[in-house]
Structure 1
Amino acid sequence: MTVIYRKDRKVLKRVDYGAAKNSLMGVLAALLVYALVTAWGGVYRAHELETLIAGGAVVLVTAFRLWLIARFDALYGAGPARWRKLFGAGLILHALVWGVMPVWLLWRTGAGFNFFVVILYNVGVTTALGSSWMAGLRVRQLYIVLMFVPILLGLFFYGGVKEWLLVVLVGAYTFYLFRLYRGQYELFWHAVTRERRGEQHERRRDQHAGTDIQLSLVYRLAHELRTPMNSVMGMMSLLEETKLSDEQREYMQAAGQSGKLMLALIDDVLDYSRILTGRIVLSPDYFDLRGTLEQALEAFGPMAQSKGLELSAMIDRMLPRRVRGDRDRFMQVLTNLLSNAVKFSDKGEIRLDVDFTEESDSEGVLRVRVSDQGRGMDTDTLRTLFQDHFLDGAQDAFAAKHIGFGLLVCKGLTEAMGGSIGAESVEGEGATFWFTVRLGMQSDMNEPQKLLSAMDGLQALVVGSAGGALAGLQEEFEALGCQCQGAHDYDHALQALRAGQREQSEFHLLLVDTRERQELALNLCHNVLVDPALRPVKLILMCTIEERAQPAIQRLVERHGLVVLVKPVHRSVLRGALERLLGVPRAMPVRDLPLENAEALERRRHFRLLLVEDNEVNQLVTKGMLAKLGYQVKTFSNAPAALSLLQRETYDLVLMDCMLPGMDGFEATRVMRESERQEGRARTPIIAITANTAEGVQARCLAAGMDDFLAKPVHLEEMETVLRRWLPLGSASDNHEEGEGE
């Protein structure tokens, strides 16, 4: 069985240089031996021409090998493999000359002095080669064959007992050298492999330890950054509820946006650290895929419109309704790509294309493309777009055209979700980013039958929309069994409507987009609404969120009941509008009853909350949030004092910071749970509040006995949701009534 050894260039270079250096003595010795044989041995006088020919061969081979030695650095630097081939060729030529020479001498002078001198040289030079070029095996074995097989054949056919005895001796030595070379070769590579394995093991161990230290530093840095960010964001949320001038509100919104970007950067740093260390964790669950895509469109639609961009979507109508995957991670990749498209585009359309390919009854591949008509990228930037120049060892990573953590995180997340990510671009013509992810699915393609029946046989006309938006609308109408086509401009649309009335091929639905000319779009709507002949046409106006509040549109809504949809228009809002226009009854989801009324706030005041937080600013922020929600709270800056109070008084809930001086929140919770168990007291809910978002922290909180988890910076909505979960208003009412009875 052939063993393949991993080669190290540095080791091989040292071995090759040693072989070249050691061969110098053998090459010079060859000249000396030849001179001794031909001159002192008298061969030259008896066979002058043959001696000159043999001498010429010896000189040429010697000169070639000396040239290889003298030019080692230049030749080896140009190509190590080429130098080895040349060095091996020199050895083969040397073996050919000195393997044939003893046969020639045996033929011309017999088995005398000259013959034995050459035999001794051959034995010496082959023995020396055994320890000088152990990295090469085949060339050295061929070298032995060419050196001794001609001698063995010559002695065998020369005849005689002495010659046959020499055959046995030389043959045995040849076989010994064959085994010696093989053993030295294997011993050499085993030693090199063992050394490299030891070095690699040490490197891996050091690298693993260094990675753990770096990751720990990243988590600690993120924790330290989140703590003051909690104070900043919390104070700004409280400030937002105060009376501010328009100028102050603009400043505060700008600062709030910067704060959100800072938090997003912290999260990207943490995610990228997890990806580099292979610790990214996914939380797969079933979710509404189309609803998720529509949520992203609604979030980025106003951002695109504020820059004069059109955001449209072409979503496969056969998309499964519910898929199984990590919704948050999927949204993180999608929103990053949409955000970049808006950021780097100044004109044109941003288009989202989504399609799904089933690979089995329960799994498929989702493909998402985000295309823009922005600046585009050059070839060099595109080639290194998803490479981290810091990890590549660039001499000046900051000077390189590198992107932030966003796309690097997207690459790691898509690969973790079983997919890939890439980009296509032409400089000056825009870019297309795409990614794929593997998702489980629930195969449910049923469309709402009532709407399908109402849409059967209808025809729709769309005017003013961009190409991507028109394609998306046509896809949606086709899913409902309705024909849809686009009009060239607003005048042609009106002409098509009137021609349809005359020719009994009327359009039943008209969708007007304000993208090209708002005045012409509104004029078309007015003409359709006031024309008695066109009264059967159902009209939908599509506009931006800023246009929706304009007086001209408001008048059409108030006077004629015009249905207005804010772009980008997606399936949910489109179908809702169609159901209203066609009189299709729609089952409305049950909504939570509003809790922000005076009675709810009054009932919340009967809860007693305890906050354990060492940071004074965070104390102030959290107290402000709780007061806004209607809760009463008492604060402590250390765990022992809070535990002492809990021994004497009863509280409905405890908000516990995990990183406290002295006794931390985990230990304090364990002590409190043990005290409750020993004394038989009711369990008090404890909510962890921490800026540490590393994997396992939430599980550690629950293992310590905490009931829920809030990550800093804490947002008002998240706090309200958690408190409502553990402090239902009914319990406040019961406690209050019991207190009054006592």
Structure 2
Amino acid sequence: MIYRKDRKVLKRVDFGAAKNSLMGVLAALVVYALVIAWGRVYEAFQLETLLVGGAVVVVTAFRLWLVARFDALYGAGPARWRKLFAFGLILHALVWGLLPAWLVWRVGTGFNFFVVILYNVGVTTALGSSWMAGLKVRQFYILLMFLPVIGALFLGGGLREWLLALLVAAYTFYLFRLYRGQYELFWHAVTRERRSGGAERRRELPASTDIQLSLVYRLAHELRTPMNSVMGMMSLLEDTRLDDEQKEYLQVAGQSGKLMITLIDDVLDYSRILTGRITLSPDYFDLRGAMEQILEAFGPMAQAKGLELAAVVDRLLPKRVRGDRDRLMQVLTNLLSNAIKFSERGEVRMDVDFTAEGEHDGVLRVRVSDQGAGMDTDTLKHLFEDQFLDGAVDAFAVRHTGFGLLVCKGLIEAMGGAIGAESVEGEGSTFWFTVRLGMQADMSESSKLSGAMADIQGVVVGAGAGSLACLQEEFEALGSQCQGARDYDHALQALRAGHREQAEFDLLLVDTHGRRELALNLCRNVLEDPSLRPVKLMLMCTIEERGEPTVQRLVDKHGLVTLVRPVHRTGLRIALGRLLGVPRSQPVQDLPTETPEERRRRKLYRLLLVEDNEVNQLVTRGMLSKLGYQVKTVNNAETALALLDQENFDLVLMDCMMPDLDGFAATRDLREREQREQRPRTPVIAITANTAEGAQARCLAAGMDDFLAKPVHLQELETVLRRWLSREDDSAAEEPDSE
């Protein structure tokens, strides 16, 4: 197929790359100054530090000159400017690639090393989306950035240095493949097919949507493979001896990895939405419980930014509704994540209402509001539109909202609902959606707590508007009432006045959201005042505040009951039960699995891992060893089949995508041999990065027994193995003791 370049688009891309490089270039000076000053490298190696500093300044000045003289240099010759820009990138990579290697050699893997590595990771990741027109230069750039430090870490000789080297190598490989995929997508977007003979050729090709979906699936598969290595290595690194600083870096890296997996899933979902292939799996589930899990996950994130997260859920919400739980939670997660991300102050509030419209269904209405910067009218108008699909708009010249909102719109519309947004600049935004759900009738529950709460009057002080509305809704559901107090002093006065007038409040809820010290002082005054002893007291705080010594002293001395924000029904009812002495029915606990007998039993199982990627071999083998299983590894299916003919294995972990003979064909061959030779059936678990529709069905059709998607998590791996290996006769575990 013949393509021609669009010079205008390429100029905008080149200018965008030059402009975006400013932050990285200026950040280089700040990072280097931080390392030599705060990191105290200059005091120990003055001459070497000055030489490296001179190189950093020269490279920075050259790249700033390229940006400042863009119009003149580009006008004289675009190709010449690109060569100069590429030369500047190579010089930058050479200096900053050697710098961490020099730090490892001189001062080891301490603060200075991690600061430089984080900078290198940041600029190489940013380059992925800023200059996609040149592939070889970008790939050479990341090799210069990371190969020197990988070599220096391996030569360091310690286990920690080797693990860090493997992590950096895995990330380098991931970027290498990512740049290739971005390069191909870029040229598909900015080139135009010539018309001559195009109509006949297009008739011979599959539908364009099939080509796009195939490209997205292949790209997602290629991205998941290195991400499996990165996430697996970090999970293994967590169990090594790390100081607090290294644990913090590892936590940030883990969050970034999870964000990348979420982005890959969003890309896949959006491609399915565009091609009309989105699938829903409706079933009955506990909607309130699912939302409470989301609140517990986002609560610490919001509180870390100084935000208050609250949810006001309709007390008439059915206990069980019928819908696609995962898709609904995906929409809620996206909306809450955006609200927290774009808010710097105030409250993020979720309002959930349900209106029954019959015996078996109703309409769910959800609103997520924030007090952030808000949006202008034009941004709000195009919020749920994909500018890349509008041929009349230059997609590279507009500001994009990302996949999250587009995926939300597609999912809600697939459920037959509607989604929208309202916003006022400077006041905040509100995202809403409505969807019809089935409901399970006659799910009312009797509660001893409702009897204990009858006619109880409560007062809430210090809580935000959302938390107060949530408490009022939940108290009404229990047949009681609560009201808000203006401030902490007013609440204390109201309690004492009620005692004198014999119109006492029964329950006081003190929230630290207003001012923590005043809240704790109010708790002390109430707990130590004999006249107020009939008043039940509960402290509402964050999970971090609950562990502080001042709060723990009140808990230990007075038995103070605490309630962790954000408030939801389950947490509130547990706290009220403790406060009022209402016994709580405990669910039956699962038997512990990490017993000595369980570990001993696992050692008797022999597992075969079939994986062609060496890093993935290392990760999966490390997880299996951590769980206590014996594992043997081969890197191709032919060797695996020959080994299965000679030895007995209790289970096979089979990678699906391998060169020559893939996992599907290998499993079919294994099942034929077992049937022909009347051998026992060996369970085969598929491990693949392919998450397209029908992938699991294809695995089962090939004779595999179960399915694990990459990146593989330790808990999921343990669950699948226990499911298939627990069927063996446990008496085998006792045989070694009988000798």
Q: TM-score, normalised by structure 2?
A: 0.71
Q: 1:280-329 CA deviation, whole Å, 9 max, x = no partner?
A: 11111111110011111111110110000000111000000011111111
State how many pairs are aligned: 542
Q: Which residue of 2 aligns with 1:328?
A: 326
1:613 and 1:283 map into 2 onto residues whose CA distance is: 32
| Aligned position for 1:438 | 436
Which of the residues 674, 677, 700 maps onto 1:676? 674
Partner residue in 1 for 2:534: 536
- Name the SS of the counterpart of 1:709 in structure 2: strand
* Equivalent in the alignment of 1:224: 222
Distance in 2, matches of 1:684 and 1:209, equals 41
Q: How does 1:544-583 map to 2 (within 5 A)?
A: 544-583=542-581
Equivalent residues of 1:607, 1:732 under 8 A apart = no
Match of 1:24 in 2: none
The corresponding residue for 2:626 is 628
SS at match of 2:640: helix
Moved more, 642-651 or 306-315: 642-651
**Which residue pairs with 2:585 in the alignment?**
587
Q: Displacement, 1:366?
A: 0.8
Partners of 1:237 and 1:305 lie apart in 2 by 26
Counterpart code for 1:735:
A
Retained in 2: the 8 A contact 1:603–1:732?
Answer: no
2:422 maps to 1:451: no
2:676 counterpart SS class: helix
| Distance (whole Å) between structure 2 residues aligned to residue 625 and residue 274 of structure 1 | 33
| Cα distance, 1:665–1:740 mapped onto 2, change above 3 Å | farther
1:668 and 1:504, CA in 2 relative to 1: closer, same or farther beyond 3 A?
Answer: same
The secondary structure found in structure 2 opposite 1:283 is coil
Contact 2:387/2:393 (<8 A) preserved: no
Match of 2:719 in 1: 721
Q: Find the partner of 1:603 among 591, 597, 601.
A: 601
Please give the residue correspondences for 1:226-241 in structure 2 after superposition, counting only pairs within 5 Å: 226-241=224-239
What amino acid does structure 1 have at the position aligned with 2:625?
Answer: A
Cα offset, 1:203, TM superposition: 12
Match of 2:511 among 505, 513, 518: 513
Equivalent pair of 1:459/1:509 in contact (CA under 8 Å): yes
Q: Shift in Å at residue 739 of structure 1?
A: 7.1
* Partner secondary structure for residue 387 of structure 1: coil
**Of residues 346, 353, 356 in structure 1, which corresponds to 2:354?**
356
Q: How do 1:295-694 residues align onto structure 2 when only pairs under 5 Å count?
A: 295-694=293-692
* Aligned-pair CA distance for 1:237: 0.4
Alpha-carbon contact 2:600-2:733 (below 8 Å) kept: no
* Deviation string, structure 1 residues 123-182 (Cα, Å, up to 9, x no partner): xxxxxxxxxxxxxxxxxxxxxxxxxxxxxxxxxxxxxxxxxxxxxxxxxxxxxxxxxxxx
Contact residue 424 and residue 432 of structure 1 kept, 8 A: yes
Q: For residues 209 and 544 of structure 1, what CA distance do their matches in structure 2 show?
A: 53
Letter in 2 for 1:575: R
Say which SS state the counterpart of residue 389 (structure 2) adopts.
Answer: coil
Task: Write the deviation string for residues 451-508 of structure 1: whole angstroms up to 9, x where unpaired.
Answer: 1111111111110001111011000000100011110001111111111122222111
**Which SS does the other structure have where 2:563 is aligned?**
strand
**1:204, distance to aligned residue in structure 2 (A):** 10
CA distance in 2, matches of 1:517, 1:493: 14
Opposite residue 611 of structure 2, the aligned amino acid is E
Aligned equivalent of 1:735, options 726, 729, 732: 732
Letter in 2 for 1:534: L
Q: CA deviation at 1:734?
A: 2.1
Q: Judging changes above 3 Å, is the alpha-carbon distance between structure 1 residues 394 and 306 closer, same or farther for their aligned structure 2 residues?
A: farther
Between the aligned partners of 1:394 and 1:657, the Cα distance in structure 2 is 44
SS at match of 2:717: helix
Residue 109 of structure 2 corresponds to none
Q: CA deviation at 1:525?
A: 0.6
Distance of 2:407 and 2:200 partners within structure 1: 29
SS of the residue aligned with 1:432?
strand
Moved more, 355-364 or 507-516: 355-364
Tell me how far 1:396 sits from its aligned partner: 2.2
Question: Do structure 1's residue 243 and structure 2's residue 241 form an aligned pair?
Answer: yes
- Quickly say closer, same or farther: Cα 1:468–1:642, change in 2 above 3 A: same
Is the 8 Å Cα contact of residues 669 and 706 (structure 1) preserved in structure 2?
yes
Deviations 1:634-681 (A, max 9, x none): 011111111111112111111010111111111111111122222222
Unpaired runs of at least 5, structure 2: 1-198
Structure 1 649/737 Cα, relative in aligned 2: closer, same or farther at 3 Å? farther
Could you say what secondary structure the match of 1:398 adopts? helix
Check the 8 A contact 1:460/1:510 in 2, yes or no: yes
Separation (CA, whole Å) in 2 of partners of 1:524 and 1:741: 66
- The SS at the match of 2:693 is coil
CA distance in 1, matches of 2:303, 2:667: 50
Alpha-carbon separation, structure 2, partners of 1:445 and 1:503: 42
Q: CA deviation at 1:207?
A: 9.1
Partner amino acid, structure 1, of 2:209: T
Whole-angstrom distance in 2 between the partners of 1:221 and 1:644 = 32
Larger radius of gyration: 1
Kept in 2, the 8 Å contact 1:544–1:567? The answer is yes
Mapped partners of 2:285, 2:515: distance in 1: 39
**Residues 312 and 241 (structure 1 numbering): CA distance in 2 closer, same or farther, change over 3 Å?**
same
AA of the residue aligned to 1:612: V
Alpha-carbon distance in 2 for matches of 1:208, 1:372: 45
**C-alpha distance 685-330 of structure 1, shift in aligned 2 (>3 A):** same
CA distance in 1, matches of 2:222, 2:284: 34
Contact 1:414–1:421 (CA under 8 A) maintained in structure 2: yes
Instruction: Give the letter for the 2:733 counterpart.
Output: H
| Residues 168-204 of structure 1: CA deviation (Å, up to 9, x unaligned) | xxxxxxxxxxxxxxxxxxxxxxxxxxxxxxxxx9999
Give structure 1 stretches of 5+ with no counterpart.
1-200
SS at match of 1:439: strand
Q: Secondary structure at the match of 1:661?
A: coil
Look up the match of 1:18: none
Q: Aligned pair in 2 of structure 1 residues 268, 322: CA closer, same or farther (>3 Å)?
A: same
Deviation at 1:446, TM superposition (A): 1.9
2: CA distance, partners of 1:557 / 1:207: 71
Q: Which amino acid aligns with 1:724?
A: R
Q: CA deviation at 1:334?
A: 0.1
Distance in 1, Cα, partners of 2:251 & 2:563: 26
User: Offset at 1:738?
Assistant: 5.2
Identical counterparts, % of pairs: 75
Separation in structure 2 between the aligned mates of residue 327 and residue 535 of structure 1, nearest angstrom: 45
Q: Equivalent residue for 1:21?
A: none
CA contact (8 A) 2:540 2:562 kept: yes
Instruction: Flag the 1:295–1:203 CA change in 2: closer, same or farther, 3 A.
Output: farther
Contact 1:606 1:732 (C-alpha < 8 Å) held by counterparts: no
- Residues 339 and 513 (structure 1), Cα distance of their counterparts in 2 relative to 1, 3 Å cut: same
User: Contact between 1:320 and 1:441, CA under 8 Å: does it hold in 2?
Assistant: yes
Q: So what's the TM-score if we normalise by structure 1?
A: 0.71
Alpha-carbon shift at residue 420 of structure 1 (Å): 1.2
Closer, same or farther: CA 206–426 of 1 in aligned 2, 3 Å: farther
SS in 2 for 1:243: coil
Aligned partners of 1:350 and 1:371 also within 8 Å: yes
AA matched with 1:721: T
Matches of 2:595 and 2:684, distance apart in 1: 26
User: Partners of 2:432 and 2:444 in 1: how far apart?
Assistant: 28
Q: State the distance in 2 between where 1:650 and 1:609 align.
A: 9
Give, in angstroms, the shift of residue 594 of structure 1.
Answer: 2.2
* Cα 1:204–1:538 shift into 2, 3 Å: farther
Change (3 A) 1:542 1:261: same
Q: Which amino acid aligns with 1:668?
A: A
TM-superposed CA distance for 1:684, in Å, is: 1.3
Contact 1:355/1:367, CA 8 A, preserved across alignment: yes
Alignment-mate amino acid for residue 637 of structure 1:
N
| Letter matched to residue 232 of structure 2 | G
1:237-316 to 2 correspondences below 5 Å? 237-316=235-314
